[in-house]
Amino acid sequence: TAGIAASPSPRSPDCVLLERGDPGALAAVREGRAVVQDPASALVAPALDPNPGDLVVDLCAGPGGKAGHLAALGATVLAVEPQPGRARLVADTARRLQLEGRLHTVAADSRALPLVPGRADAALVDAPCSNLGSLRRRPEARWRHQPDEIEGLAALQLDLVRAAAEAVRPGGSIVYSVCTWTARETDGVVDAALATIPGLEPAPLGGPAGPGASRQLWPHRDDSDGLFLARLRKIV
């Protein structure tokens, strides 16, 4: 009806791909019936496979696209974001999508969650990373990181997974995602989590991202951001 050529995404059944134009100008986006998101990012919330009413903690929630997606799937989301400006963006997303009753925003250090240990049913760790997977859309991002930052990013990523594991109840799930493809930030973090955090095991990804326990998407092959995601289950 907007007169813009569009097609279904082959990666995510929730996505429509626009051939041109400003998606933010569409009535569906302005009215909160849709959000602007890369098809790879749209795989992350369904990969957690939350049940309606589940309490999900999103440890790095800004600007709110994935937290809003989780709430739209029926979860109650505690969106934790350490940067106050990005936390306000999450709250704005909740208002625009009319999800304020299910999406609650807190500005806090995600490594020290304002949550009773074992209280959450699931957790999302969409962690800070080198952002190499977004270069097709944000070529300037290549100047923001240096190779010697990878070790520090991986250490932070593992700390965030550890905080998520403490927050989740036995039987609950953690989805870890980063928009990059370095071995240290992807499989390396998952392997380190399994080796050092008691009670975790690989679990199949939910939704169209599955059925494996992890997946790496590539811009040249998947026509999406180069996103990595993996799912872990807390067994004790």
Q: Find the largest Cα–Cα distance for the chain.
A: 54
Q: What is the DSSP letter of 95?
A: H
The answer to whether residue 60 is catalytic is no
- Tell me the Cα Rg of the chain: 17
Q: Which amino acid is at 223?
A: D
What number of CA atoms fall less than 13 Å from residue 10's CA on the CB side? 5
**Helices and strands in the chain, H and E counts:** 7, 10
Catalytic residue (choose from 15, 60, 129, 179)? 179
**CA dist., res. 76 & res. 53, Å (int):** 6
The first and second tokens of residue 111, run together, are: 């490594």
The distance in angstroms from the start CA to the end CA of the chain is 51
How many Å separate Cα 167 from the centre of its chain? 17
**CA dist., res. 106 & res. 118, Å (int):** 18
Q: Which long-range contacts (CB under 8 A, 24 or more apart) does 2-10 make?
A: 2/26, 2/27, 9/39, 9/42, 10/223
> Could you tell me which of 155, 162, 150, 164 has the C-alpha nearest to residue 193?
162
Catalytic residues: 179
